[in-house]
Structure 1
Amino acid sequence: MTVSDEGLDTQVVIVGGGPVGLITALLLARWGVRTKVLERRTAPSPLPRARALTARSMEVLRSLGLEERVRAVALPVEVTGRHYYFGRSLTDPDFRRLARSRASRQTEASAVPPAICTQDRLEPVLRTAVRGTPAITLLTGVEVTAVTRHGDSVEVGYRPVGSGPALSSRASYCVAADGAHSLVRDALGIRMSEPEEASHNLNILFEAELNPLLEDRRSAIYFLDSGEVHGYVMPGDGGRRWLFNQILDGPYRPGADDTDRCADAVRRIIGAGGPAVTVVDRQRWTGVSRLAERFGAGRVLLVGDAAHVVTPFSGIGLNLGVQDACNAAWKLAGAVGGWGGPALVETYGPERRAVAAWTIDEDRETMRAARPADPAQGAGTGPASNDQAGLGRWSAWYGRMLERRNDQGLVFGYHYDSTAVLPDGTPPPRGDDPFGEYVPTGRPGHRAPHTMVEPASGARLPVADLFGPWFTVLAADAAPLGPCEALHGASGLPPLRVHQVTSADPGTDWTELYGIAKDGAVLVRPDGHTAARYHSLPADFAAVLRRDLRRLTDPPQGAQR
């Protein structure tokens, strides 16, 4: 039985139509949830902004049927390379390159490779998908003016940007995806943590024929320190367009409105004899890491930068938001669809805030390495040995990256602990480096680990392809499943799919990976995290499964662990 829509013009209002807001809407639409997205901008930002999509984010896009569309506009490896570059300029003869994380480890963790897709290329793909989805209404060129919470609904006031009639939308829930300066968060009175020392930056989007200079030094990011100008250059469109992020703590600081000095700053980090430079756009910004004290209030949830802000140095900000969306969507669908109780939505905040807090800690450590310990080194006057190596002010950053080229633990290794997980009494696996080392496990709360399987249909596929807008039972060959498939569509229960699978690759055993016996099973949540683990199934497993689904989706309020 669904929740009454009486008096509502939609079921969920999403404030903010950037990548995280659009992905939230698309995930909700898979459950049939009607959403209205309110976005101030009429067109995607022309600046590349975020660009790194981890394998986890690409898994979400794959589940939405968008993986190939995103890869079609992403930058190919031939353009970005698999290295980080350090030098005085792009033409420095003493440059250094540092290899990124090994592809073999990535393949073990996921069947879906990461991608470099700049935000100005990603957003049009998402907007097209949203506009082709009947359950989603996307309104652009509107600004939110007020958010009012009622007992069983949320009213969001908005109007056309600049001037126009006051409008409003009333929904069961509201998702705030309106960025670091979130109006919704402020309206709720939710405070952000105090930032550490900020990094002041100037993004300069420019066009230049750089590829002929880079044949033997192709890299994903170029960290540069000319002495007066320092920052990093990233490929924009794979051709003539590039983005230079200048860190404004050196002696040469062009104003954002000074096109000539911006172009000169770019020429200084390209090096002598470089090509002509045309500045396309520029924007000043401040890099800080901050965390909201709460990720929501009642029927309003915060996702993405509205909930947490990390610097681009971590390359993880957008990805955090994508996983917020993945976590929130199925819980909101349960509340709207009537199979999830109010306490299910309340698990969103504790689960995601713990992950964001860890990420911000790591981001701040990275930022400390990116700043010179001695202010005198800010102008590239570091030790001679570093300068001769082309490192300059990036010497500490280079050392940190030598230690932490791999971030598999941060991307795949986090886990949840709430009433939306049924613990089995086992401790989490411990590695020597939680940030870099990912230890696959089927323990409840963790991401269900990647493996290739063959269901009864006989089609070999990654296990994650079996997950979707439903709970999934993965059972071993000898598991006595009984009539549990009949629970799909049962009143008051979430959608359910049951798969009896075998390992598809020689020498692998998925039951060992997941920590169950040959007659065991695991229950996987719609976001791909293990909800419960059954080492061996009881004869009355259908009854046990019915009970556990209710415990997971309708826990008593106030019962959060």
Structure 2
Amino acid sequence: MTDGRAHDDAVVVVGNGPVGQSASLLLARWGLRVITFDERPERDYVGSRSICQQRDVLDIWDSVGAGRQVADEGVTWTTARTFHRDLELFALTFEDRGRSRFPPFVNISQSRTERILDTALGSQPLVDARWAHCVTGIRPDAGGVTVVGTSPVGPFELRATYVVMCAGGHCDDLRESLGIEFYGHSYADRFLICDIRTELPDWRTERRFYFDPRWNPGRQVLIHPCPDSTYRIDWQVDETYDLDEERRSGALDRRIRQIVGDAAYEIVWCSVYRAHERIADRMSAGRVLLAGDCAHLVTPFGARGLNSGVQDAENAAWKIAYASRGYASPALVRTYDDERHAAAVENLTITSATMDFLAPETPEQIAYRRVTLDDAGADPSARARVDSGRLAEPFWYVDSPLTTLDPSRTFEGRPPKGFTPAPAPGILLPDVPARYDSVAIPLRSLAREHLTVLTGADVDATSVSRAVRAMVSAPVRVMPVAAIEDSMAAITVSEALGIQADEIWLLRPDAYVAAVVRDAEELLAAAARLLAR
């Protein structure tokens, strides 16, 4: 064995793609040592791949020093337009309950995102990234996990406290060794992606989706603006499509010309893929947690793949950190499956419904799509049934075992497209400006430092603080909400949350609301629930 060191204090991350990079950075942010294994010899920076990064994921990356650069380099878009042939059916814009530092979405190639995350990893001494290391076995037990594999210098074996598997959708052997099933569906139609560098001035800041355009009749085309005057174009094609033959025949040039017209263009990258909808039957096996494509594969219409994978990584990181440090019961890590499997199910439900409309496979689905699109031109109610993808959004942990519900703030269910629910237990905090020690800081950044308690104007924060510190072993910050108000902000913390004078808000270390209560006893019960005590 080439690596006999125990490493009993380290967390292993398997896979060094963007979800694995995020997991490594987030674990290290909590002070944990991380060893990352990837079977590739080096990073393969190629193609646009997962391009669409959602506001709240930029916010997560910002906590590890990468979000601002991703946002600044990406192309910002705030409008998603949907067409049937040449007729625009609707345009969607995005609500922001706070005053977010980040736009709703930015488009940037996955390759560039990975470079930015690699730069952040390069300045993180707690992360040891090992390329050309293929993990062949993962054996969890009560005290940790044994990881075995092969490297350029021979086999290796080491022990770890936890493993976060971010090894992509094709890690069947590792999943099966853990007794995890990966079930779902693959679609017959395929999709052609081309990254085209050209000038389309009117399309620089909006995503366009076309049903049945004359240049791809009976199917769809999706167009996204990207940096450097590049556009990512996805054509739905049939299962017999041959990219090499289309290049040879000149049909690819004709296909592109139907969109860009006479403008000069350059093909930066092309690929063909098949869409899959798959999900693991569970996202954990003892001390092994599955994240990203390893746990769930969804179609790209809605940008829910990479974005949900990064949210997996954050959920895993803070729970592993709190359990490892004794701040919480080890049972806290088991709630990763409760929360993130539910998120994966919701994403799969949404994207499967979209694919039923985009690529109908039954006579009933085909008829429904045809009638809906035919009616949508004149009937606004029919337009509401046109499904071009519900774009990525955070999952709301209202049914989580860690959440203490508040009867006065009931969750009304999934809001309309482009909207977010009102702040309440289980909901991600709005990205609102705050101040702490006279320094401007976003409320979410403040929450991500510790457990956080905010008290309303009529609550004695000092007595609440004494009660919490006597009973909760984790670091906790108790503050009157008035003490963190930014008087110069367009919206204050109190306004954004709707906090009442008699209320106490408990915030999770991933910036979700855990509870809204009205006395210290209720707060301690909510904190115990949050820490799985």
Distance 1:120-1:203 versus aligned 2 partners, 3 A rule: farther
Question: 1:371 is aligned with what amino acid?
Answer: A
Q: Distance in 1 between matches of 2:38 and 2:225?
A: 24
The 10-residue stretch of structure 1 (183-192 or 523-532) with the greater mean CA deviation from structure 2: 183-192
Partner Cα distance (2:98, 2:206) in 1: 24
- The one-letter code sitting in structure 1 at the alignment partner of 2:252 is A
Once the two structures are superposed, residues 193-214 of structure 1 have per-residue CA deviations (whole angstroms, 9 ceiling, x without a partner) of 332x6153244445443x1x55
- What's the CA shift for 1:101? 1.6
Matching residue of 2:423: 441
Aligned residue pairs total: 517
**Inter-CA distance 339–462: structure 2 relative to 1 (3 Å threshold):** closer
**How far, CA to CA, are the matches of 1:483 and 1:257 in structure 2?**
72
Amino acid at match of 2:32: V
The secondary structure found in structure 2 opposite 1:365 is helix
Matches within 5 A, 1:17-36: 17-36=16-35
Aligned match of 1:414? 396
Q: Which amino acid aligns with 1:466?
A: L
The match for 1:480 among 456, 460, 479 is 460
Separation in 1 of the partners of 2:109 and 2:506? 35
Could you tell me which residue of structure 2 aligns to residue 63 of structure 1? 63
Of residues 78, 81, 84, the one that matches 1:84 is 81
- Shift in CA distance, 189/20, structure 1 to aligned 2, threshold 3 Å: same
> Which deviations, in whole Å up to 9, do the C-alpha atoms of 1:153-193 show, x marking residues without a partner?
11222224xx6511233201001111122243222121123
Structure 1 segment 194-213 matched on structure 2, within 5 A: 194-195=184-185, 198-209=187-198, 211=199, 213=200
- How far is 1:476 from its partner? 2.4
CA contact (8 A) 1:255 1:262 kept: no
CA distance in 1, matches of 2:81, 2:411: 31
Contact 1:14 1:177 in 2 (8 A): yes
Q: Does 1:190 align with 2:180?
A: yes
Matches within 5 A, 1:156-195: 156-160=147-151, 164-183=153-172, 184-195=174-185
Deviations 1:224-278 (A, max 9, x none): 552479543545753354433332328xx54244472486235324329535665
Greater Cα offset, 326-335 or 238-247: 238-247
**Alignment correspondent of 2:247:** 260
Q: 1:56 to 1:215 in 2, by over 3 A?
A: closer
Q: Judging changes above 3 Å, is the alpha-carbon distance between structure 1 residues 66 and 167 closer, same or farther for their aligned structure 2 residues?
A: same
SS in 2 for 1:106: coil
Equivalent residue, structure 2, for 1:133: 124
In the alignment, structure 1 residue 337 sits paired with structure 2 residue 325: yes
* CA offset digits 1:492-545 (Å, max 9, x no partner): 72222222222546996755764654243211010111222222x45xx7xx76
* Amino acid in the other structure paired with 2:501: K
Higher alpha-carbon deviation: 323-332 or 503-512: 503-512
Whole-Å separation in 2 of the counterparts to 1:436 and 1:499: 32
Q: How does 1:120-519 map to 2 (within 5 A)?
A: 120-160=111-151, 164-183=153-172, 184-195=174-185, 198-209=187-198, 211=199, 213-215=200-202, 219-221=206-208, 223=210, 224-227=213-216, 231-232=220-221, 234-235=223-224, 237-239=226-228, 241-249=230-238, 253-258=240-245, 260-261=247-248, 264-271=251-258, 274-275=262-263, 279-372=267-360, 399=383, 411-412=393-394, 414-425=396-407, 428-430=410-412, 433=415, 437-442=419-424, 444-455=425-436, 457-459=437-439, 461-482=441-462, 493-502=473-482, 503-504=485-486, 510-511=493-494, 514=497, 516-519=499-502
Question: Could you tell me whether the CA contact under 8 Å between 2:468 and 2:524 is conserved in 1?
Answer: no
Distance in 2 separating the partners of 1:361 and 1:270: 36
Q: What SS does the aligned partner of 1:411 have?
A: coil
SS, match of residue 154 in structure 2 = coil
Deviations 1:120-142 (A, max 9, x none): 11111111111210111111233
Is the counterpart of residue 15 in structure 1 residue 14 in structure 2?
A: yes
Post-superposition offset of 1:333: 0.4
Query: Are the equivalent residues in 2 in contact too, given 1:413–1:438 (CA < 8 A)?
Result: no
Q: Is the 8 A contact 1:100 1:406 kept in 2?
A: no
Q: 1:227 to 1:510 in 2, by over 3 A?
A: closer
C-alpha RMSD of the superposition: 4.0
Identical-residue share of aligned pairs (%): 28
Rounded Cα–Cα distance in structure 1 between residues aligned with 2:193 and 2:453: 50
Partner of 1:527: 510
Partner of 2:54: 54
Unaligned runs of 5+ in 1: 1-5, 89-93, 390-394, 556-561
Deviation, 1:356, is 1.7
- 2:107 maps to 116
Q: Is the 8 A contact 1:304 1:324 kept in 2?
A: yes
Describe the SS at the equivalent of 2:462.
Answer: coil
Return the offset for 1:63.
2.1
Structure with the larger strand share: 2
Contact persistence 2:507–2:513 (CA under 8 A): yes
Measured against aligned partners, the alpha-carbon deviations of 1:394-419 in whole angstroms (never above 9, x if no partner) come to: x99x9458678875xx7256224344
Corresponding residue for 1:91?
Answer: none
Structure 1 CA distance, aligned partners of 2:160 and 2:276? Answer: 33
TM value normalised by structure 2: 0.83
The letter for the 1-side match of 2:238 is D
Contact 1:49 1:119 in 2 (8 A): yes
Question: How high is the TM-score relative to the length of structure 1?
Answer: 0.79
**CA contact under 8 A between 2:58 and 2:102: conserved in structure 1?**
yes
CA distance in 2, matches of 1:440, 1:433: 10
The letter for the 1-side match of 2:6 is G
Structure-1 residue corresponding to 2:530: 552
